Structure 1
Amino acid sequence: MDFRTQVTAPGATSRFNADALLIVLAGDKLPAGLDEPLAKAIEQAVALDDYAFKSGKLAYLRAVDGVKAPRVAVAHAANASAKALKAAAAAGFGALKGLGVKHVAIQLAGFGELQGVHAEAVAAAAGDAVYLYRTTKPSAPPAPKLEKLTLLAGTKAEGSALNGGFERAAAIVEGVTLARELANRPGNHCTPTILANEARKMAKANGLRIEVLDKKAIEAIGMGSFLAVAQGSDEPPRFIVMHYQGAAKSAAPVVLVGKGITFDTGGISLKPGAEMDEMKFDMGGAASVIGTMRAIAQLKPKLNVVGIVAATENMPGGRAVKPGDVVTSLSGQTIEILNTDAEGRLILCDALTYTERFKPAVVVDIATLTGACVIALGNHRSGLFSADDALAAELLAAGDAALDPCWRMPVDEDYDEGLKSNFADMANIGGRAGGAITAAMFLKRFTSKLRWAHLDIAGTAWKSGAAKGATGRPVGLLTHFVLSQVK
C-alpha cells in the first residue's frame, strides 16, 4: 500500500481529490478546523441522530455538497490516544470496504498536534482492513482495492512527523502481513521445509543472508533437545538463520529467536481434539521473527540483526519421544521430558544456546509457549519475562509505541524449584501453578551468557471464534525494539 502525507491549507480538505474521505474525530463536540461543508454535513448527521460524538459512532455520508470526494465516512475515537485512533480508523475503513475505493484521504480532528504515532495507528488499521487470506481459499471474495492512503497534515512540522511514522508503519504492515500469512496456512501448507523456503524467498527479495540447516546438520551440531521433539514426525526439521547487516561485522547483533512448531498435536501427551486445528498457529513466534526481519530489511537501521527459527512438527508415533525420556541439550544439560506437549521450550533451549556463537548484544525469544499465559493475561498483552530491568523496560516501551503491548511477569528464583528432577539436570515442566513462569524459568537456565528476554505470545498471536486467524503480533513490538537498539 502507498502511504503518503499531504500538507493542506485550511479549507482544502473538501477540495482534495480521493475516492473517499475518512474523518476521524476525538472529543465530545465538533472540533474546530474542519472545512465548512464537512462541519455542516456532520452537524446535520448529528441532528438526524445518524451520528454522535461518542466512542464507536460511525456515519457514512455520500455525495456531500461542497466536497470533491464522492464518499465521506466519519468515525469517532474514544479519546485522543493512538490506540483509540486505531480502533476508530478501523471502523472507518470497514465502512468503506467493498465499495471499490482505491484512494482514501484521512483527516484527524481533535487529536492535537499530529505525530508519527498517529500515522502508525492509521496505517496499522489500514493494513488490517486490506489483508485477506487466500492461499487455500480461492473462493474468497476479492481483496479490498485500497491502494493509496493520504493522511492530511495542517503544517509542515506535522507532515514531517507523519512521514516518519509512515516510513516505520509501511515496513511494519508488510512484516505483519507476512507473519499473518505464514501463520494462517494449514499445517500441510506450512511444513518446516515450506517455512524455510518462504524464509529463503523473503531473504532473497530483501537482501538478507540466510542459512537453513537440515536434520543432518542439526544432528552434527548436537541439538539433542530440538531433535527429540522432531523425531516423532515424518516431516524433517529445519533450523533457519537469517542475517541483516546494517553495521560493521564486528558489531554485536540483536538476535530474535522464534518457536516454529508448524503443527502441535502434543506428541504422546496428545492434546484434546477440540480446537486442535488452531495448533497450526504454534509457529506464530517463528512467523513474527520472519515478518520482523522483513520489516527491518526495509527500514535499514544501522545495526546487525540475526533472526533464528527452529522449525518442526510435534507428532505422536513409534519414534516419538515419551514422557520420562531424558535428552541432552546443546548446552550439555540433560532434560527429563515429563510432558511431550511442553515441546516449545525444548526447541528454544537449543536455539538459545546456539545464539552464543554470535556474541549477541541482546537475545529475545518469541513463542506461543503456554496456555497458562493466556489464563494470566488474556488476549490483550503478551507475557514478558526478563531478569534485566533495563531490557524489560525497553520492550515494554516498544510494545506501547507499537500498540502491541506486553506485561512483565516475574522470574524469581523461587519459581525454579518446580523444575527439579531425580533423573536429569531439570524437568521440562513444573506444576500447574505459575505455568508460564516455570516455562520461562526453564528457558532462563540456558541464558546465563546472554542478555535475554522471553515473550510468551500464546494469547496474542491469533484469534479464535468467528474472527479466527493470525494477528501478526508481535512484529510491531519487535520492530520498534530493534530500532530502539540503534546507538
Structure 2
Amino acid sequence: MEFNVKSGNPEKQRSACVVVGVFESRKLSAMGEQLDQVSEGYLSNLLRRGDMEGKLGQVLLLHNVPNTLSDRVLLIGCGKERDFGDKSYTKVIAKAITTLNDTGSMEAVCFLSELNVKGRDTRWKVRHAVEAAQDTLYAFDEFKSKTDSTRRPLRRLTFNVTTRKELTIGEKAIEEGLSIAKGAHKARDLANLPPNIANPTYLAEEAKTFAVNNEGVDCEVLDESELEEMGMGAFCSVARGSDTPAKLIILKYNGGSAEQKPVVLVGKGITFDSGGISLKPGERMDEMKYDMGGAAAVFGAFVAAVEMKLPINLIMTIAAAENMPSGKASRPGDIVTSLSGQTIEILNTDAEGRLVLCDTLTYVERYEPEIVIDVATLTGACIIALGNQASGLMSNHNPLAHDLLNAGELCGDRVWRLPIWDEYQEQLESNFADMANIGGKGAGTITAGCFLSRFTKKYHWAHLDIAGTAWQSGKAKGATGRPVPLLSQYLINRCES
C-alpha cells in the first residue's frame, strides 16, 4: 500500500474518504469540528441524535457531507480524551484501516495523525500509523487454494500533519514505518510457514537470497559437519535426531565505520520442536513450528535495519535445527561438551533451545561485539510469568537492559526485566557435568537465562524470552512479528544517540 503525508484542511480534500476522530461523549476532534463548521453543523447534529457516542473503536461512515469535496467522511470513536494514549491510537488506526478496506475506499486522507497522543510527536504518530496499517492488512494465505480477496481494497493512505514544516518529518516516519513493517512481515511469514518447508535448509537459502539482493550484506552458512568439527557438541546434540541437518546462518551488514564494533543478534531457530526423547504432549504440538520465532525475529530486524540503511555494523546469526525423536537422538542423561569447553548434562531433551544458543553465543565472540542480544521462544514458564503481553528480559549489563526497556516503552513492544542472580545459578548444578540443562520447576525462565549467561562472559549481553509474544493461539493463530519493533527501535535509538 502507498503512504503519503500532506498538510491541508479536511473539507478541501478531493478523496474517496476523510477520516476524523470523535471522543466520548460525542466530542469531535479539532479537525472534526472544522468539518462540522464547514458543513453547518451536519456532524454535530448526527452526534446529538445519538448516531455515535465516540466509544473506542466505534465507526460511522457518512456520504455526501455538505460543503466538502470528499465522497465520504469516516468518524472513528477514540474513547475518553484523557485516556487517549499509545494503545488507543494504534487501535483507532487499525479500525480505520479495516473499515476503509471493507467499504471500498481505495484511497483516503487520515486526520487521526493530528490527534494528541501524550508524549508522542509527529514522527511517532505517522510511523506507528504506518506500522499499524501494515499489520492490520497482513494476511498469510500462501497455501490456500482459494483466497477471500477484497474487491476494492485500500491502496493509498495520506496522513495529514499540522504544518508544512512537518512534511519532511512525516516522510521520514513513513520510510521507517514501512521498513519496520517489512521486517515484521518477514518474521511473520517465516514463522507461519509449515515446518515441512521452513526447515534449516530453507532458512539458509532465504538468507543467501537476501544477501544477493541487498548491497553491503554478506552471508555465510555453516553445515552440521562443520559445527561438529568445530566442537559445537551442544548444538549438534539437538540436531542429531533429525534427518534434516542443522545450519548456523550468518548475515553481516556493514553500515557503520570500519572501527565500529558490531551489534550481534542471535536467534533460536528450532524449526520444529517435538521435544525429542522428552516428547511433548500431542495437543497443540503443531504450534511448535513457531519455536523458530527468535530466528524469524532477528531476520526481520536485520531486514528492517538494512531497509532503513542504519549507520551500524550488524550481524545476525541463526542457530537452525529440528528437535526430533529417533534412534540417533540425544537421551536424558547424556553429557555433551560445548564449544566453550564446558560440559552439560542433558536432563531434558525438550530444553534444547539453550543448547543451540550456548554454542552460538560462544561462536560470536570472534566478532568482538559491542552488544549481543539473543532472542528465543525459550520457556513456557515465561508465559506463566508474563502472559502474552511482555517478553522476558535478562542481561549482564544494566545500561543495555535499560536501553531495551526504554525502546520497548517507546514502540509498544514491551519487555520486563527478570533477575539472573547467583542464587539461581545453583539450580543448574550437576553431579556429573559442569552444569545441567534444566534447573528444576521453580523460576524456569530465570534458570534458562542463567544457563545462557555462563556463555556470555566476554561481552555485554541481553536475552529476550519471547515464548509468550511470538505467536497467538486459538482462532487468531499466527505469528505476531514481535519483537521486530523492539529490536528496530533499539537499533534506531542506538544510531541516534
Q: Same fold (TM over 0.5)?
A: yes
Instruction: Quickly say closer, same or farther: Cα 1:423–1:300, change in 2 above 3 A.
Output: same
1:330 aligns with 2:339: yes
Letter in 2 for 1:186: P
Matched, 1:388 2:385: no
Displacement of 1:32: 2.8
* Residues 133-191 of structure 1, C-alpha deviations (whole Å, 9 max, x = no match): 02212322126833322110121343333333222111001101111111011111211
SS, match of residue 123 in structure 1 = helix
- 1:183 — aligned with what? 191
Alignment correspondent of 1:210? 219
CA distance in 2, matches of 1:25, 1:246: 44
Residue of structure 1 in register with 2:97 after alignment: 93
Q: 1:71 to 1:128 in 2, by over 3 A?
A: farther
Say if 1:130 and 1:146, in contact at 8 Å, map to a contact too: no
> Sequence identity of aligned pairs in percent?
44
- Contact map agreement 2:22 2:32 (CA 8 A) in 1: no
Q: Aligned-pair distance for 1:412? A: 1.2
Give unmatched runs, 5+ long, in structure 1. Answer: none
The answer to whether the 8 A contact 1:114-1:153 is kept is no
Q: In the alignment, which residue of structure 2 is the partner of 1:145?
A: 153
Residues 189, 71 of structure 1: alpha-carbon distance in 2 compared, 3 angstrom cutoff? farther
The change in CA–CA distance for 1:355 and 1:337 in structure 2 (over 3 A counts) is same
Whether the 8 Å CA contact 1:429–1:438 is kept in 2: the answer is yes
Structure 1 counterpart of 2:250, from 230, 241, 244: 241
Counterpart-to-counterpart distance in 2, 1:42 and 1:325: 72
Q: C-alpha separation between the residues in 2 aligned to 1:283 and 1:38? A: 51
Question: SS in structure 2 opposite 1:128?
Answer: helix
In 2, Cα distance between equivalents of 1:82 and 1:359 = 38
**Paired residue for 1:479, among 476, 480, 488?**
488
Summarize deviations over 1:38-62 as a string: whole Å, max 9, x none: 5645424423433113323222223
1:447 Cα deviation from its structure 2 partner: 0.4
Deviations 1:324-352 (A, max 9, x none): 11111111111111111111111111111
The corresponding residue for 1:30 is: 28
Matched, 1:51 2:52: yes
Q: Secondary structure at the match of 2:30?
A: coil
Residue 114 (structure 1) shift: 4.5
For residues 194 and 101 of structure 1, what CA distance do their matches in structure 2 show?
39
Q: What secondary structure, in the 3-state scheme, does the structure 2 residue paired with 1:211 have? A: strand
Whether the 8 Å CA contact 1:237–1:311 is kept in 2: the answer is: yes
**For 1:154, what is the secondary structure of its paired residue?**
coil
CA drift at 1:483: 1.8
Gaps of 5+ in 2: none
Q: CA deviation at 1:86?
A: 0.3
Matched, 1:111 2:100: no
> How far has the Cα of 1:214 moved from its partner?
1.4
Residues 405-464 of structure 1: CA deviation (Å, up to 9, x unaligned):
111111111111110001111001011111100010000010000100000011110011
Q: Secondary structure at the match of 1:171?
A: helix
Q: Which moved more, 1:443-452 or 1:60-69?
A: 60-69
Matched, 1:174 2:172: no
- Name the TM-score, length of structure 2 as normaliser: 0.93
Counterpart pick for 1:13 among 10, 18, 24: 10
Which one-letter code corresponds to 1:464 in the other structure?
S
Q: Is the 8 A contact 2:100 2:106 kept in 1?
A: no
Distance 2:285 2:69 in 1: 51
Does structure 1 conserve the Cα–Cα contact (< 8 Å) formed by 2:16 and 2:72? yes
Matched positions, count: 484
- Aligned letter for 2:32? L
Q: SS of the counterpart of 2:378?
A: coil
Name the residue aligned to 1:403: 412
Corresponding residue of 1:75:
76
| Matching residue of 1:133 | 140
Deviation per residue, 1:54-90 (Å, 9 max, x gap) = 3232222234333333333222234332321001111
Is 1:356 equivalent to 2:353 in the alignment?
no
User: What is the letter of the counterpart of residue 468 of structure 1?
Assistant: K
TM-score by length of 1: 0.95
CA distance, structure 1, for counterparts of residue 98 and residue 442 of structure 2:
42
Change (3 A) 1:394 1:185: same
Bigger shift: 220-229 or 317-326?
220-229
1:126 alignment partner, SS class: helix
Partner amino acid, structure 2, of 1:13: P
| CA spacing shift, 1:22–1:204, aligned 2, 3 Å | farther
**Structure 1 vs Structure 2 CA RMSD:** 1.9
Deviation larger for 251-260 or 30-39: 30-39
CA distance in 1, matches of 2:407, 2:449: 20
Shift, 1:370, TM fit? 0.6
Paired AA for residue 309 in structure 2 = K
The farther-off stretch of 266-275 and 53-62 is 53-62
Give the superposition deviation at 1:221: 2.0
Seen in structure 2, the aligned counterparts of structure 1 residues 332 and 127 have a Cα distance that, compared at 3 Å, is same
The CA deviation at 1:15 is 2.4
Contact in 2 for aligned 1:209/1:242 (Cα 8 Å): yes
Q: Secondary structure at the match of 1:281?
A: helix
**What is aligned with 1:121?**
128
1:188 counterpart SS class: coil
Matched residue of 2:19: which SS?
A: strand
Measured after TM superposition, the shift of residue 16 of structure 1 is: 1.6
**Deviation larger for 196-205 or 17-26:** 17-26
